[in-house]
Amino acid sequence: MMGKLQEAQQKAEETKQRLNTVSLEEQSAGGMVKVRITGNREIKDIKIDPSLLHDSEELADHLIIALNKAISKASEMNEREMQEAAKGALNIPGMDKLFGK
């Protein structure tokens, strides 16, 4: 049982490391604001069309939209990948009773 838990923990760590190398991009304002984020939800780059620089409120709105979309996409990917990595731990006899399933 401990071997399975250690294996699941190692797979989860490997998945985290791999997600650091995955790059996702989201945008708002028809591509005028672009955000690049890793699978671990770390913002790596923001590109802003110069035409948005004159209106800070509009720019802030578009940044919020693009950031929230990018974080949501990265969170979905992260959750899916981490669940896949943890599958080994769920196959341990008796674990279903431990979590009330």
pLDDT for the residue numbered 91: 60
Tens digit of each residue's pLDDT (9 = 90 or more) over 5-30? 777 788 888 888 999 999 999 999 89
| Within-domain flag for 28 | yes
How many domains are contained in the chain? 1
pTM over cut 0.75: no
Query: φ and ψ at 55, to 5 degrees?
Result: -125, 100
How far is Cα 71 from Cα 48, in angstroms, rounded to an integer?
Answer: 18
| Within-domain flag for 96 | no
The domain of 66 spans: 24-90
| Within-domain flag for 14 | no
For residue 69, the domain's CATH number is: 3.30.1310.10
| Within-domain flag for 98 | no
| Within-domain flag for 17 | no
| Within-domain flag for 97 | no
Task: Kindly list the distances between the CA atom of residue 77 and the CA atoms of 32, 71, 81, in Å, as whole numbers in the listed order.
Answer: 24, 10, 6
